Amino acid sequence: MQRHILKIPFIVFFLILLVFFYLLMIDRNPSKIPSALLGSKVPNFEANSLFKKDKFYSSQEFTNEITLVNFFATWCKPCKDEHVYILRLSDEMGLNVIGINYKDKAEKTTKWLKKLGNPYSKIAIDNNGQIAIDWGVYGIPETFVVNSEGIIKYKHVGPITKKIYKEINLLVRGLQ
């Protein structure tokens, strides 16, 4: 019995190192946090629209097609960097992209979109960050993929890169 107790330190050490090794091997980002909303219905919210007089009601959207939701702002540099991919998702892939303008100024956003192009079918204004909180957003830009039944299927934190663009491409095809 005593002999076996003496082996315990080694066994515990071995198991712990196994975990570390596993974590190093898999492709993981230590600062990326998985979304708590995956598989849930889209949060219910209403907001002012940027270009239209009517308000934006989330209950009226997300009902019959795959939709992308992109949180962005003019003061956010990575948002500018990824904008070309948002345009591609909207134009080339013909996806419905809704923009949520986070803590921004309407005139600035209008100018920004005029200059860079507007991929959004609708834009909701989130001045105080409450919509972002409802979506579990913590660092813009963040992009969500919602299926035709209004279920959130995917979230990406940070700017859309070529790699992520491809990922979204594949995902959307799979959902169709």
Partner 1 sequence: MASTLGNILLWLSLLFSVLQFFNSYKKDNQNTLKINKIAVNGLLASILLAFFLLIYSHVISDFTILNVVQNSHTTKPILYKISGVWGNHEGSMLLWILVLAVFNYFLFKLYNNKNTIFISKTLEVQAFITIGFIVFTIFTSNPFEVIFPSPENGLGFNPVLQDPALAIHPPLLYIGYVGFSAAFSISVATLKLNIVNSLPWYNYMKPFVLAAWTFLSIGIALGSLWAYYELGWGGWWFWDPVENASFMPWLLGTALLHSLIIVEKRQSLQAWVLLLAILAFLLSVVGTFLVRSGILTSVHTFALDPSRGIYILAFTALLGFYSLILFGSNSKKYFNNNYFAFFSKEGAILINNIFMIIVCSTVFLGTIYPLLIEAITNNKISVGEPYYNSTVIPILIPAILVMGVGPILSWGKQNKSEITKKIFPSIFITTIFTIIFFSIYRLISPIGVVGIGLAFWIISNNLVIFFKKINRSFGMIISHLGVGLLILGITGSSVWQIEKIINMKTDAEVNINKYKIVFDSIEEVKGPNYLALRGNFLVYDKNKNIITILKPENRFYPITGNFTSEASIHTNMLRDLYIVLGDGNLQKGWTVRLYYNPLVVWIWIGALVIFLGGLISLKNNIKKLA
Partner 2 sequence: MIFKKNIINIFFIFLLQFVMSGSYAVEPDEILLNKKKELMARNISKNIRCMVCQNQSIDESNASLARDLRILIRNQIQKGKTEEEIYKFLTDRYGDFILLKPPFKLTTLALWFLPLAFVLLGIFIVYFHNKKSIKL
Residues contributing to the site for partner 2 (CB under 8 A): 33-37, 43, 103, 128-130, 132-136, 138-139
> Closest separation between CB of residue 143 and partner 2, Å?
17
10/54 with CB nearer partner 1: 10
Chain positions contacting partner 1, by CB under 8 A: 2-3, 6-7, 9-10, 13-14, 16-17, 19-24, 28, 30-31, 33-34
11/133 with CB nearer partner 2: 133
95/156 with CB nearer partner 2: 156
150/158 with CB nearer partner 1: 158
9/174 with CB nearer partner 1: 9
Question: Residue 21's binding partner, choosing from partner 2, partner 1, none, with beta-carbon cut-off 5 to 8 A by kind?
Answer: partner 1
> Closest separation between CB of residue 136 and partner 1, Å?
13
Question: Residue 51's binding partner, choosing from partner 1, partner 2, none, with beta-carbon cut-off 5 to 8 A by kind?
Answer: none
Question: Residue 139's binding partner, choosing from partner 2, partner 1, none, with beta-carbon cut-off 5 to 8 A by kind?
Answer: partner 2
Which pairs from 29-37 meet CB under 8 Å and 24+ separation? Answer: 32/157, 33/138, 33/157, 35/136, 35/152, 35/155, 36/136, 37/135, 37/136, 37/144, 37/152, 37/155
